[in-house]
Structure 1
Amino acid sequence: MQDGEGSGGEIPRPEVPDNVYGWRKRERERLIAARLQQPADARAQAGRLITERLRAAVGDVHGKRISLYWPFRGEPDLRPWMEEIWLGGGMALLPIVVQKGQPLVFRSWRHGERLDRGIWNIPIPADGTAADPDVVIAPLVGFDPEQYRLGYGGGFFDRTLAALQDKPLVIGVGYGSQAIETIHPQPHDIPMDRIITADIS
């Protein structure tokens, strides 16, 4: 028998914590701490492998608007790919937090252009062109087999994806060690279309 068929009951599932948000906060802290304990050169190697896999997944970037991110707290560094996107006839974007509780906005950026400091002191484009992305690359704190993403808790990506008029291709990226059994998805959570990872060795 598979999937509990004929067992007379539902498939056992992980127990949902009484306070999902408290559980997520603790899980988030645990996963970020584990990520930061990994050697920087090993994270860099994993980032290069993730970039290779993203190239294959996204394909020809010509005419595509692709949102990436500025790496934060040990996230995979995809910035070298941004210049490749421009050289391939695409547009690389960075997300900007306008204010708490509001969707992100996206502005173009390429190496050498001016940056300002945004929330959490993460660099953001000072002047770039505003555009909605065709592809969104979202960094993961954690992820589960249903392709739900555990982020930093602000809800910015979910809020943004729900607000965009044309749904982009959404790809979560991270390290294999960030896989968890479930994030205990809630009604507002939006799964990724794909998740691309690399193991840190």
Structure 2
Amino acid sequence: MVDESVEEAKAALRIKAHAARASLDHQERAEAAAAAAKHFFDGIALDPSHVVAAYWRIRDELDCQPILVRLMDSNQTVVLPVVLGDEEPLDLRVWEQGASLYEAGFGTLAPSDLAPRAEPDIVIMPLLGFDARGTRLGYGGGYYDRTLAKLKKKPLLVGLAYAVQELDDIPREAHDVPLDAIVTEAGVRHFGDNA
């Protein structure tokens, strides 16, 4: 059952977080993406055998490309998400070195339908907002919630955002899986037990 008051609160927070993100200029965005990539590699334990799910930036999200380039250059296995339908989990396709990316809806790019699939050990997640408890505020479509629910193992969940996207408190519902860490241009914060 949907709690209307929680949904209204989240809708208001989405507007606030999106406005904060949209207020950044092109130079601030580029500098933040470079700094966040450095913090990601300095602060997230990454094993060469790990499969890393990342994303292709849409609209004014923090650009994941500096992280993607370094992962691909180091031959890390990378998967990119594809939206298959409104009530479906994301299809996580391996992006193989040298393989082309194709339009995958919502302005994203992804490997072809023929690409292999893999379950991630680490998921880098875009978001609209986050709070000090590791609660992630997404766009409200539930794609990541459905995807995480179908995985055989729980991956390390790493939010990627601008520091201005931090909110005081985001209501957390039973289906909301908290982040293990958040990476911004200001650094990495680990949430431990996600209390």
Q: Deviations over 1:38-59 (max 9, x none)?
A: 1111011111111111112334
What TM-score, normalized by structure 1, do the two folds share? 0.83
> Residue 92 of structure 1 corresponds to which residue in structure 2?
78
CA drift of 1:60 comes to: 4.2
Pair 1:44 & 2:47 matched:
no
Match of 1:152, SS state, is coil
Pair 1:138 & 2:125 matched:
yes
Distance 1:77 1:180 in 2: 20
Aligned CA distance change for structure 1 residues 33 and 112 (closer, same or farther; 3 Å): farther
The answer to whether the 8 Å contact 2:127/2:161 transfers is: yes
> Residue 55 of structure 1 corresponds to which residue in structure 2?
41
Out of 104-113 and 134-143, give the one that drifted further: 104-113
Match of 1:171, SS state, is strand
What TM-score, normalized by structure 2, do the two folds share? 0.85
RCO comparison, higher one (Cα < 8 Å, 6+): 2
How many residues were matched structurally? 183
Q: Deviations over 1:85-112 (max 9, x none)?
A: 2332311111111111221121122575
Distance 2:185 2:69 in 1: 22
> Residue 19 of structure 2 corresponds to which residue in structure 1?
33
> Residue 11 of structure 1 corresponds to which residue in structure 2?
none
What are structure 1's unaligned runs of at least 5 residues? 1-16
Pair 1:124 & 2:97 matched:
no
Aligned CA distance change for structure 1 residues 198 and 87 (closer, same or farther; 3 Å): closer
The answer to whether the 8 Å contact 1:69/1:138 transfers is: yes
Identity of aligned residues (%): 33
Pair 1:178 & 2:165 matched:
yes
Aligned CA distance change for structure 1 residues 129 and 83 (closer, same or farther; 3 Å): farther
> Residue 139 of structure 2 corresponds to which residue in structure 1?
152
Q: Which amino acid in the other structure matches residue 137 of structure 1?
A: I
Q: Which amino acid in the other structure matches residue 106 of structure 2?
A: W
The answer to whether the 8 Å contact 1:115/1:125 transfers is: yes
Quote the RMSD (CA, aligned, Å): 1.9
Aligned CA distance change for structure 1 residues 111 and 89 (closer, same or farther; 3 Å): closer
> Residue 7 of structure 2 corresponds to which residue in structure 1?
21
Match of 2:139, SS state, is coil
> Residue 67 of structure 2 corresponds to which residue in structure 1?
81
Aligned CA distance change for structure 1 residues 82 and 18 (closer, same or farther; 3 Å): closer
Distance 1:47 1:128 in 2: 27
The answer to whether the 8 Å contact 2:52/2:122 transfers is: yes
